[in-house]
Structure 1
Amino acid sequence: MNSFAPRVALVGDRSPNVRAHTRIPALLTALAERERLVLDAYWIPTEEAEGSEESLAGFDAIWLVPGSPYRSEAGALTAARTARERGIPFLGTCGGFQHALLEYARNVCGLTSAGHAETGSGAGDPLIVPLACSLAGHEGTVRVTAGSLAEQALGAERTVERYHCSYGLSPAFLGVLREHGLRFTGVDENGEVRIAELPGHPFFLVTLFQPELAGDGDRAHPVIKALAGAARATRRPQVAETSSVPWTRRLSS
């Protein structure tokens, strides 16, 4: 692996039964071969991410991958919070979308009891709730806000994306999340949120759809390419040495 390649933490509980996980290695290979965007990727189980803010901060990008419910909700939230607070390029997909919003609600909006209906976490009304119609195995149109980070990454104001989820954001929390700075820049045909981003951050983008499932796997989805580009653009010289990262579970292992 090129020692000067940006390093990305793939935070999630890797499983051969999660299709998105099995596709990621080929997608990153395609990024390197087609786009010349080489990433040094490490798999970080959520249990190891929990309480590891300083080590996660040594990465050039953090990708909170699908696979909810995670073995450690706290670890998933740590990944999102570290990226948000440290200005590290961040992509959250499917479960990553859900937990990035949960982290934001608790730590920025002060909704400390906000929870996730799938796991029963939180003492208050759930922020993440069952979708009216499950999207597992479905695809649908997403309308993207012009001029947004999402539009810049996708290169279009309308796209068709694939899903594998049954939970999304409760509309009851849209107002408070907006008031505290979060921007919703992608919705389905019914106006339900599918993309969110954080203005002022170098790159903070979350999608309910799974870009890992797009196409036949021989070309990385535009939002994955955008994350790689952001990691390269913001890469810090002081994290060039692999020894600063305690994990050795590289993508190829």
Structure 2
Amino acid sequence: MNPTRIALIGDRSTAVRAHERIPEIAGRYDDVDLHWLSTTDLAPAEAAAFDGVWVVPGSPYADEDRVIETIRTARTGGTPLLGTCGGYQHMVLEFARNVVGSRVRHAENPVAGAAAAPGSTALITELACSLKGRSGQVDVVPGSRAAAALGERSFERFHCSFGLTAADAEPLVAAGLLVSGTSPEGEPRVVELPGDAFWLGTAFQPELADAQPHAVIEAFVAAARVRAVRRAAGADVAVVR
């Protein structure tokens, strides 16, 4: 059986708990072959060679531009894409820049990526109430990809101080982004794109859940497996949004 090849995009560090948990979680899958790709050595076109791309926590990334371009490559090529915490934030940035056409940046990054400058505004901003080290409720939109994994309501672990606000999400939603999970106050917690290609970002970190594999990870791996089968059959079709 051909392995399901998944790229982990991020700068691996023992200081990031999620980075320690991911290989343990992946070890539960006999058919999953993980490849860590640091952002400084990343060739964005490599995303097309994998069955799934997971942009992991741990931002700001050493090379934001390469991360954004890798996300774009995965999105336009239909490669299953999962972003958690910092990965979710950069999926939002990529969509805003390349689909909406906005000059936006991540407020956490002291040096904005080249794609955001000049005259950029912060899209991913410091949250009024930090979610670092907290658990919280996520209300999920019925019929969404998130709902298929999480149900109508979920309680998740967060480890972030930055995110997307409901107000800043409005132009993205108008361009096709679905905010499929929110806090009880209506702030974005999960985003996805409609269509067959798996494209999902979570502000929370499913890597930190006690019960593993988390339902979001299960859904991502399932999508990557389908991609692996299609790749073996030579049936890949690019999906451009």
With normalisation by structure 2, the TM-score equals 0.90
Moved more, 172-181 or 191-200: 172-181
Does the C-alpha gap of structure 1 residues 142 and 94 become closer, same or farther in structure 2, counting only changes over 3 Å? Answer: same
Match of residue 101 from structure 2: 110
1:90-116 alpha-carbon deviations (Å, 9 max, x no partner): 0000000100000110000010x2011
Q: Distance in 2 between matches of 1:140 and 1:17?
A: 23
How far is the alpha carbon of 1:170 from its aligned partner?
3.2
Match of residue 34 from structure 2: 41
Match of residue 143 from structure 2: 147
Secondary structure of the corresponding residue to residue 15 of structure 1: coil
Residues 1:138 and 2:137 are matched in the alignment: no
Alignment of 1:95-244 (within 5 A): 95-111=86-102, 113-120=103-110, 121=112, 122=116, 123-154=119-150, 156-215=151-210, 219-235=212-228, 236-237=231-232
Q: Distance in 1 between matches of 2:121 and 2:196?
A: 28
Q: Distance in 1 between matches of 2:24 and 2:18?
A: 11
With normalisation by structure 1, the TM-score equals 0.86
Residues 1:78 and 2:69 are matched in the alignment: yes
Q: Distance in 2 between matches of 1:152 and 1:170?
A: 24
How far is the alpha carbon of 1:172 from its aligned partner?
3.2
How far is the alpha carbon of 1:31 from its aligned partner?
3.5
Match of residue 6 from structure 2: 8
After superposition, the CA RMSD in angstroms is: 1.4
How far is the alpha carbon of 1:62 from its aligned partner?
0.1
Secondary structure of the corresponding residue to residue 54 of structure 1: helix
1:225 is aligned with what amino acid?
A: E
1:16-69 alpha-carbon deviations (Å, 9 max, x no partner): 11000000111111244xxxxx211100001122xx233221000000000011
Stretches of structure 2 lacking an aligned partner (at least 5 in a row): 235-241
* Counterpart contact for 2:44–2:66, Cα < 8 Å: no
Match of residue 59 from structure 1: 50
Secondary structure of the corresponding residue to residue 50 of structure 2: coil
Does the C-alpha gap of structure 1 residues 13 and 238 become closer, same or farther in structure 2, counting only changes over 3 Å? Answer: farther
How far is the alpha carbon of 1:201 from its aligned partner?
4.2
How far is the alpha carbon of 1:238 from its aligned partner?
6.9
Q: Distance in 2 between matches of 1:39 and 1:79?
A: 20
1:132-180 alpha-carbon deviations (Å, 9 max, x no partner): 11111000000011110001122x1100000110000133322210111
Work out the percentage of aligned pairs sharing the same amino acid: 47
Q: Distance in 2 between matches of 1:170 and 1:128?
A: 8
Secondary structure of the corresponding residue to residue 83 of structure 2: strand
Aligned residues: 226
Q: Distance in 2 between matches of 1:150 and 1:137?
A: 22
* Counterpart contact for 2:141–2:180, Cα < 8 Å: yes
Q: Distance in 1 between matches of 2:76 and 2:11?
A: 23
Q: Distance in 1 between matches of 2:142 and 2:233?
A: 36
Secondary structure of the corresponding residue to residue 65 of structure 2: helix
Runs of 4+ in 1 over 3 A off after TM superposition: none
* Counterpart contact for 1:117–1:130, Cα < 8 Å: yes
Q: Distance in 1 between matches of 2:207 and 2:165?
A: 24
